[in-house]
Chains A and B, each alone.
Chain A
Amino acid sequence: EAQVTQNPRYLITVTGKKLTVTCSQNMNHEYMSWYRQDPGLGLRQIYYSMNVEVTDKGDVPEGYKVSRKEKRNFPLILESPSPNQTSLYFCASSRGQGNQPQHFGDGTRLSIL
């Protein structure tokens, strides 16, 4: 089954404690992306990757890091989380670029205390 898998689905942690949210896709997609969803703000792009070892900033990259060492994986790293990063996070993948249908994971709800 074609899918995008995120882990963990839920996490409560404290300010400053480094965390990583993993994302994996099994569709051999070149493009992967991270979004955060906040009430009243919709989905905003954090980082994206066009292919292995190619990453770039989206609209709200501050406080986040990503890496793309393998085609299927695109982890999101919060090195020093702060309460304003409390949000619902989605990973997505697609063939080609951002102007193609994107497949989303089921989300990761992060709470930073």
Chain B
Amino acid sequence: GENVEQHPSTLSVQEGDSAVIKCTYSDSASNYFPWYKQELGKGPQLIIDIRSNVGEKKDQRIAVTLNKTAKHFSLHITETQPEDSAVYFCAASSVGYSTLTFGKGTMLLVSP
């Protein structure tokens, strides 16, 4: 089955800095890579996703890049704000697969 590794497990940045979270996956057939943000006491919420026919996707301050050859994808957050503080999860899924495999999460702390 799929295996997703996520790094770092914790990340502290100053407000206004950029943050990068990286994930690798094992199944070359995986073609869907979402990122979720989980705030305290809430369920994970989708913030951005990318499919394997695209190398990069942006949504305002958030971007995701995908390198299919190396089997890794990354989340980039620019101009971080305190409200970006949360746990972020990457995940991977394949066509025909009925499961979404998650990384272990990254706790991002943005200090004012």
Known: A41-B104, A43-B89. A97 touches B45 (CB 8 A): no
* B11-19, B36-44, B61-69, B70-78 - the one binding chain A: B36-44
A75 within 8 A of B: no
Interface size class on chain A is 20 to 34
Which A residues lie within 8 Å of B42 (CB)? 106-107
Chain B residues within 8 Å of A33, by CB: 100
| Size of interface on B: residues with Cβ below 8 Å to A | 27
Give A82 to B78 CA distance when docked, in angstroms. Answer: 44
Contact: B98 with A56, CB < 8 Å? yes
Q: For the complex, what is the distance from the CA of A50 to the CA of B97, rounded to whole Å? A: 11
User: Hey, which chain A residues are within 8 Å of B93, CB to CB?
Assistant: 97-99
B residues 32-65 with Cβ under 8 Å of A?
Answer: 32, 34, 36, 41-46, 49
Q: Which residues of A contact B103 (CB under 8 A)?
A: 42
Q: Does B81 contact A (CB under 8 A)?
A: no
Which of these, A40, A56, A99, A105, contacts B100 with CB under 8 Å?
A: A99
